Each structure stands twice: as structure tokens, then as C-alpha cells.
Amino acid sequence: MKRNSVPRVAAIHDLSGFGRASLTVVIPILSSMGVQVCPLPTAVLSSHSAFPNFHAVDLSKDLQPMIDHWKELDVDFDAIYSGYLGAASQVDTVVQFIQDFSQSDPLVVVDPVLGDNGKLYTAFNSEMVEKMKELVSSADVITPNLTEAAFLLNEKHKKDIELSELKEWVLRLGEMGPEKVIITSVPNGDSRNNSSVIAYNKIDHRFWRVGCDYIPAHYPGTGDAFASVIVGSLLQGDSLPIALDRAVQFISMGVRATFGHNHRPTEGILLEKVLPSLSAPVQISSYQLLD
């Protein structure tokens, strides 16, 4: 199995000119973690979609020619990492991409971007949900939030979901294909001041939880940042719980570094202030093994 001198990731996301999200988050995070990022942009936007009146250029028709050129160059990847896809047809392209570049046995990480807060994003419908299930089945690792997990399982979104039911959801998602399942934005029933990330590894049949302190602000792009740190950590050889710890700590640090400033939340976290922390040793303190 060939491995590159510097880990190389194919990052299949949109590119937003303004606002810290998608590729403008993915590239600096993974680069800071010693990973070469090869972006395959699914769309180019003047800003991310949390801003009104943004201009977008759909690159669906351009994806295959770019992929074909990579084939001509005999490029291989240590990981394939997909995020926001602008159309159901792009899912088919990504599934085929994974198959075409499977010779190097890359780590396949899918952030199944569909919605949040119990609702689909306005650009998506049930067709996109069904196509995303196909992509999830091709992944080694998936990182849905609680809303996305519910849509993938045809379940209702529950803010007060019990841990036993959540573990059942995680197992069912694992049965769809991925080896590691990570669900973010899970409310803690005993507290309104924090949430959790819940994860499961099919190899050792262990569940993990990492708590996140609550700060009353919402920053677009934090899901992209979280999944990117997971990708970088796993490529570095970190275990699943260490990767979770590293990702949660980075997001928490970014939110706290941003919250004290007079800063529009729609611009995202002040990523530049916390990127140096990614080269520091992780402070192993948060993860819990669940029974």
C-alpha cells in the first residue's frame, strides 16, 4: 500500500470567498497538521450560504474533467474527505471518485451535510437524503450532526434523545457501512450548558463521549473545522478518542477566542488565532468510555 511522504487528502467541498467555512477552513487546518490538501471544489460562492444574496457557481459539470486530469497525473491519496455537495448528481461523482482512487486504500471520511436544528438546509430535499445514504455506505468514517443522523436513519429529530437510543442510532449508522461513526451536537439531557460528541468504533465495539461546554453563540463552519481535525488526527495515527478530544478542544478554543470580540458570528470562528494549537500535544482530559 503506497503512502505519500506527506499525507495527501482529496478535499471535496465548496469554496466560499468570504466567511470561514468549507475549503477556507479545511485547507488551513489540514495544512497546519502537516497534510497536503488537494481541493476538488463542488461550487464557488461569493460567501457561504449564511449570508444573504450570495452568488454561486455550480461546478457539477467541471468535476469529472478535473478528476480525469488527476488520473492522467497518476495522483493517489491517503484520504478522501467530502463535505457539502450542491446537487444529488455530485454524490454519484464522489462515489465513483472513491472507487477510482481506491488502489491506495485511502481513508474515506464523509461529513454528510444535510441540515441542522431538526431541518434540512433549504437547498436539499428527500432525494439528497437518499443519495447521501449511498455515499455514507462508501465511507470509513462519518461525522453527521444529530439532525443529519436522524435524516439518514429516517427518524425524527429529538432534542431529548436518551443515551440508549442514541447508541442504537450509532450502531444502525455503522451497519450502513462506516467503521467509525461520530455524531456531533448531541444535547446532554442533564444539562442545558453543554452538549456531547458520541462516537463508535466497530473494530473494538467501543462507544466514546466527549463533552463540549456551551457558549451562547453559533458560528458557521465549525462542523467543517471539527471534521477536518478528525481527518488530520486519524492520518497522524491518533486513536478515535484522541481524535475526538483534539477536535472538540480545537473548536472550543476557537469559539472562546472569538466570543470575546465584537465579531459577526456569520463570519465564523477566528480560525487564525487558534491554528497554532494544532501543532501542540493534545491535552487528553475529556473523553469517556461508555458502557
Would you list the DSSP string of 130-141? Answer: HHHHHHHTT-SE
CB within 8 Å of 34: residues ≥ 6 apart: 6, 7, 232, 236
Question: From the DSSP assignment, how many helices (H) and strands (E) are in the chain?
Answer: 9, 14
CA distance 104 to 267: 37
Residue 193 scores a pLDDT above 70: no
Helix, strand, coil percentages (3-state) for the chain, rounded to 5, are 40, 20, 40
Confidence of residue 280 (pLDDT cuts 50, 70, 90): confident
pLDDT digits (tens, 9 = 90+) for 141-172: 999 999 999 999 999 988 889 999 999 999 99
Residue 259 scores a pLDDT above 90: no
CA distance 18 to 39: 17
Cell representation of residue 77: 491519496
- Tell me what the mean pLDDT of segment 261-286 comes to: 85
SS (H, E, C) 219-282: CCCHHHHHHHHHHHHHHCCCCHHHHHHHHHHHHHHHHHHHHCCCCCHHHCCCHHHHHHHHHCCC
CATH H-level superfamily of 8-290 = Ribokinase (3.40.1190.20)
CA distance 99 to 279: 32
Residue 212 contacts residue 234 (beta carbons within 8 Å): no
